[in-house]
A = this chain, B = another copy of it.
Amino acid sequence: MRPREFDHDEVLRIAFDQFWRKGVRGASLSDIARASGVQRGSLYNAFGSKEALFLQAYERYAGDYLLALQKTLATGSLRKRLTSFFDLTITNFRSGSPPRGCPTTRGLMELGAVEGEGLDEDAREAFANLISRIAALVQDALEAGAARGEFSGDPAAAALHIITVTRGLAVLERAFDEEPQLRKIAAHTIDLVLGKGGR
């Protein structure tokens, strides 16, 4: 068996970068082949199809992202944790120039556009998975924080609310491209959930 000549992980990173810059549909396999130095045929051979390549690249990204998030959410007061959560989120989808937006949100809205079918199960699950795990991390933070100071009595609902706001921010960011505005909404949300003076 001849071994791969390219670094599987490296190609996934490069492919994801292309998808992120140009959108799933906007990035062509020729673009990715050019950017990675791997022939188009080899990409099909190794990953199966464009959508499969995207999903694998996305899952690699999701793993990285969750790790970073976990670190961010690990310490400090509840308010501090939520603040850095919003910070990380906003910084992430405003990275690049022009800002590349939130990959999860973009992927979700872009995929599954074939007449009659929604997005296929694998794709939907990949996106839903990352969102759920982020929500779980936030919920953990809320519970850890609630140990010293209650805030609402329903951490699951609160976490879901916060996640919903971050997805909304990802959308507003593309419409208005005004970072201070986004941070204001984030701060407002934290106040709303914790109470204006809360911890």
Residues of A at the B interface (CB closer than 8 Å) are 21-23, 25-27, 98-99, 101, 105-106, 108-110, 112-119, 124, 127-128, 131, 157, 160-161, 163-172, 174-177, 181, 184-185, 188-189, 192-193
Knowing A110-B106, A113-B22, A171-B105 touch, does A164 contact B176 (C-beta < 8 A)?
A: no
Instruction: Indicate the member of A27, A164, A165 with the most B CB atoms within 10 Å.
Output: A164
Contact of A168 among B113, B114, B167 (CB under 8 A): B167
User: CB-CB < 8 A to A172: which residues of B?
Assistant: 131, 163-164, 167
Instruction: Indicate the member of A99, A105, A114, A174 with the most B CB atoms within 10 Å.
Output: A174
- A170 to B164 CA separation, bound complex (whole angstroms): 9
Contact of A128 among B127, B175, B193 (CB under 8 A): B175
User: CB-CB < 8 A to A109: which residues of B?
Assistant: 23, 101, 105-106, 108-110, 171, 174
6 closest Cβ contacts across the A-B interface?
A26-B113, A23-B113, A168-B168, A164-B168, A98-B118, A167-B168
User: CB-CB < 8 A to A188: which residues of B?
Assistant: 157, 160-161
Question: Is A185 in contact with B171, judged by CB distance below 8 angstroms?
Answer: no
Contact of A192 among B21, B112, B161 (CB under 8 A): B161
Knowing A26-B113, A110-B110, A166-B168 touch, does A189 contact B161 (C-beta < 8 A)?
A: yes
